[in-house]
Amino acid sequence: MKILMVCSGNICRSPLAAGVLKRKLDVDQIVAEVDSAGFEPYYLGEKADHHTVSIAKKHGVDITGHSMRLFTARDFDAYNQIYVMDHKSYRDVLFLTRDVEDKQKVDYLLNAILPGQNKMIPNPYNHDPEELDVVYHLIEKACTKIAGKLKK
Protein backbone atom coordinates (compact mmCIF):
# COMPACT_ATOMS: atom_id res chain seq x y z
CA MET A 1 0.00 0.00 0.00
CA LYS A 2 1.23 3.49 -0.88
CA ILE A 3 -0.43 6.51 0.71
CA LEU A 4 0.03 10.20 -0.08
CA MET A 5 -1.02 13.09 2.18
CA VAL A 6 -1.74 16.42 0.45
CA CYS A 7 -2.25 19.99 1.61
CA SER A 8 -1.65 23.35 0.00
CA GLY A 9 1.87 24.16 1.17
CA ASN A 10 3.18 20.74 2.21
CA ILE A 11 4.97 22.25 5.19
CA CYS A 12 2.38 21.77 7.99
CA ARG A 13 -0.56 19.39 7.80
CA SER A 14 0.48 16.89 5.13
CA PRO A 15 4.01 16.25 6.43
CA LEU A 16 2.58 15.94 9.95
CA ALA A 17 -0.06 13.46 8.73
CA ALA A 18 2.57 11.47 6.80
CA GLY A 19 4.84 11.37 9.86
CA VAL A 20 2.05 10.31 12.21
CA LEU A 21 0.86 7.56 9.88
CA LYS A 22 4.41 6.30 9.26
CA ARG A 23 4.99 6.03 13.00
CA LYS A 24 1.73 4.15 13.55
CA LEU A 25 2.51 1.75 10.71
CA ASP A 26 6.02 1.15 12.08
CA VAL A 27 4.67 0.43 15.56
CA ASP A 28 2.10 -2.00 14.15
CA GLN A 29 4.69 -3.49 11.77
CA ILE A 30 2.54 -2.72 8.73
CA VAL A 31 4.44 -2.50 5.47
CA ALA A 32 3.35 0.60 3.55
CA GLU A 33 4.88 3.66 1.96
CA VAL A 34 3.71 7.12 3.08
CA ASP A 35 4.68 10.50 1.65
CA SER A 36 3.26 13.99 1.31
CA ALA A 37 2.97 16.69 -1.33
CA GLY A 38 1.44 20.12 -1.92
CA PHE A 39 0.61 22.74 -4.53
CA GLU A 40 2.38 25.96 -3.49
CA PRO A 41 5.61 26.15 -5.54
CA TYR A 42 7.11 28.93 -3.44
CA TYR A 43 7.67 26.38 -0.64
CA LEU A 44 9.44 23.94 -2.97
CA GLY A 45 12.27 22.15 -1.14
CA GLU A 46 11.52 23.77 2.23
CA LYS A 47 11.53 21.82 5.46
CA ALA A 48 8.40 21.43 7.56
CA ASP A 49 7.32 24.51 9.52
CA HIS A 50 9.24 24.67 12.81
CA HIS A 51 6.01 24.75 14.86
CA THR A 52 4.86 21.59 13.12
CA VAL A 53 8.21 19.91 13.73
CA SER A 54 7.87 20.81 17.43
CA ILE A 55 4.36 19.41 17.85
CA ALA A 56 5.39 16.25 16.01
CA LYS A 57 8.44 15.84 18.25
CA LYS A 58 6.27 16.41 21.34
CA HIS A 59 4.31 13.31 20.29
CA GLY A 60 7.30 11.18 19.31
CA VAL A 61 7.07 11.78 15.56
CA ASP A 62 10.15 12.86 13.60
CA ILE A 63 9.48 14.92 10.47
CA THR A 64 12.81 16.76 10.38
CA GLY A 65 13.79 15.03 7.12
CA HIS A 66 10.76 16.38 5.27
CA SER A 67 11.26 18.47 2.14
CA MET A 68 8.31 20.06 0.32
CA ARG A 69 7.47 18.62 -3.06
CA LEU A 70 4.75 19.40 -5.56
CA PHE A 71 1.84 17.10 -6.29
CA THR A 72 1.75 15.91 -9.91
CA ALA A 73 -0.53 13.71 -12.00
CA ARG A 74 2.16 11.00 -11.79
CA ASP A 75 1.23 10.61 -8.12
CA PHE A 76 -1.93 8.81 -9.24
CA ASP A 77 0.28 6.08 -10.70
CA ALA A 78 2.55 5.93 -7.65
CA TYR A 79 -0.06 5.88 -4.82
CA ASN A 80 -3.07 3.72 -3.98
CA GLN A 81 -4.69 6.30 -1.71
CA ILE A 82 -4.45 10.09 -1.64
CA TYR A 83 -5.73 11.92 1.44
CA VAL A 84 -6.32 15.68 1.33
CA MET A 85 -6.59 18.09 4.26
CA ASP A 86 -9.05 20.67 2.90
CA HIS A 87 -11.47 21.65 0.14
CA LYS A 88 -8.91 23.55 -1.94
CA SER A 89 -6.48 20.64 -1.96
CA TYR A 90 -9.35 18.31 -2.89
CA ARG A 91 -10.23 20.51 -5.89
CA ASP A 92 -6.56 20.87 -6.87
CA VAL A 93 -6.01 17.10 -6.79
CA LEU A 94 -9.25 16.39 -8.69
CA PHE A 95 -8.25 18.92 -11.34
CA LEU A 96 -5.27 16.68 -12.21
CA THR A 97 -7.24 13.41 -12.30
CA ARG A 98 -7.22 11.64 -15.65
CA ASP A 99 -10.03 9.16 -15.14
CA VAL A 100 -12.47 7.59 -12.69
CA GLU A 101 -9.75 5.37 -11.23
CA ASP A 102 -7.71 8.44 -10.24
CA LYS A 103 -10.77 10.08 -8.64
CA GLN A 104 -11.49 6.96 -6.57
CA LYS A 105 -8.07 7.26 -4.92
CA VAL A 106 -8.82 10.73 -3.46
CA ASP A 107 -10.52 11.33 -0.11
CA TYR A 108 -10.46 13.77 2.79
CA LEU A 109 -8.28 12.55 5.66
CA LEU A 110 -11.02 13.23 8.20
CA ASN A 111 -13.40 10.94 6.30
CA ALA A 112 -11.42 8.14 7.98
CA ILE A 113 -13.17 9.06 11.25
CA LEU A 114 -16.15 11.05 9.93
CA PRO A 115 -17.16 9.10 6.81
CA GLY A 116 -18.68 11.13 4.01
CA GLN A 117 -18.57 14.44 5.88
CA ASN A 118 -15.66 15.95 3.90
CA LYS A 119 -14.48 17.94 6.93
CA MET A 120 -11.31 19.98 6.70
CA ILE A 121 -8.30 19.88 8.95
CA PRO A 122 -7.69 23.56 9.82
CA ASN A 123 -4.56 25.14 8.43
CA PRO A 124 -2.34 25.82 11.49
CA TYR A 125 0.27 27.90 9.64
CA ASN A 126 1.15 30.95 11.77
CA HIS A 127 -1.43 30.11 14.42
CA ASP A 128 -1.11 29.56 18.13
CA PRO A 129 0.29 26.31 19.58
CA GLU A 130 -3.10 25.29 21.00
CA GLU A 131 -4.59 25.25 17.50
CA LEU A 132 -1.69 23.19 16.24
CA ASP A 133 -2.33 20.73 19.07
CA VAL A 134 -5.96 20.40 17.91
CA VAL A 135 -4.73 19.76 14.36
CA TYR A 136 -2.32 17.10 15.64
CA HIS A 137 -5.10 15.26 17.50
CA LEU A 138 -7.43 15.30 14.47
CA ILE A 139 -4.66 13.89 12.31
CA GLU A 140 -3.72 11.32 14.95
CA LYS A 141 -7.30 10.03 15.21
CA ALA A 142 -7.65 9.70 11.43
CA CYS A 143 -4.25 7.99 11.10
CA THR A 144 -5.11 5.56 13.90
CA LYS A 145 -8.25 4.56 12.00
CA ILE A 146 -6.33 4.15 8.73
CA ALA A 147 -3.61 2.06 10.40
CA GLY A 148 -6.30 -0.11 11.99
CA LYS A 149 -7.88 -0.79 8.60
CA LEU A 150 -4.49 -1.64 7.09
CA LYS A 151 -3.71 -3.98 9.95
CA LYS A 152 -6.76 -6.15 9.22
pLDDT tens track for 10-60: 999 999 999 999 999 999 999 999 999 999 999 999 999 999 999 999 999
Number of domains composing the chain: 1
What pLDDT score does 43 carry?
92
What pLDDT score does 99 carry?
97
CATH number, position 56: 3.40.50.2300
What pLDDT score does 106 carry?
98
* pLDDT higher at 55 or 127: 55
CA–CA dist 95, 98 (Å, integer): 9
Run of H or E including 14: helix 13-27
What pLDDT score does 63 carry?
98
CA–CA dist 45, 70 (Å, integer): 9
Domain that holds residue 126: 2-151
pLDDT at 94 over 90: yes
